């Protein structure tokens, strides 16, 4: 079983739609949960960061963590064409900063 599972997509939605992106993980040692956004030919940039179960909101973005189910989600409200990118979930397992990434979900928001 892979440590992190993330549907690679692609996911295509119309502008204004609510987008739901998900990852499951198997390692109970994961303590910190992140979402990175990567535009084409750019490096990943941190979008959301949380360490507890529950929801965290930042503008149009909401990160949700369910540690008991080992499941994290990213919701994007009122999606825009500028949100078109690859979204990567990422996890820290404690100790030194070893960040484990999901495979990334490619999102396309069309006008």
Partner 1 sequence: DTAVSQTPKYLVTQMGNDKSIKCEQNLGHDTMYWYKQDSKKFLKIMFSYNNKELIINETVPNRFSPKSPDKAHLNLHINSLELGDSAVYFCASSQGGSESPLHFGNGTRLTVT
Q: Is 1 in the site for partner 1 (CB under 8 A)?
A: no
Q: 3-state SS of the chain: helix, strand, coil percent to 5? A: 5, 55, 45
CA gap 74, 97 in Å, rounded: 22
C-beta of 15 vs 47, nearer to partner 1: 47
CB 73 within 8 A of CB 54: no
For residues 62-78, b (16+ Cβ closer than 10 Å) or e, as one string? Answer: bbbbebeebebbbbbee
Closest distance between partner 1 and the C-beta of residue 18, in Å? Answer: 24
Q: Is 94 in the site for partner 1 (CB under 8 A)?
A: yes
| Residues between 28 and 67 with contacts to partner 1, criterion CB under 8 A | 31-32, 34, 38, 41-46, 49, 51
CA gap 35, 37 in Å, rounded: 7
| Residues between 62 and 91 with contacts to partner 1, criterion CB under 8 A | 86, 88
Closest distance between partner 1 and the C-beta of residue 99, in Å? Answer: 6
Give the residues lining the site for partner 1 (CB under 8 A): 8, 31-32, 34, 38, 41-46, 49, 51, 86, 88, 92, 94-101, 103-104, 106
């Amino acid at each position: 079983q892979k440590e992190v599972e993330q549907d690679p997509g692609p996911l295509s939605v119309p502008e204004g739609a609510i987008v739901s992106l998900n990852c499951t993980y198997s390692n109970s040692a994961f303590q910190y949960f992140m979402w990175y956004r990567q535009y084409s030919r750019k490096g990943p940039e941190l979008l959301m960061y949380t360490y507890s179960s529950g929801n965290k909101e930042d503008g149009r973005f909401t990160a949700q963590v369910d540690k008991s189910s080992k499941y994290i989600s990213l919701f994007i409200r009122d999606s825009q064409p500028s949100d078109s990118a690859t979204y990567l979930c990422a996890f820290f397992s404690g100790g030194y900063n070893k960040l484990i990434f999901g495979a990334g979900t490619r999102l396309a928001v069309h006008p």
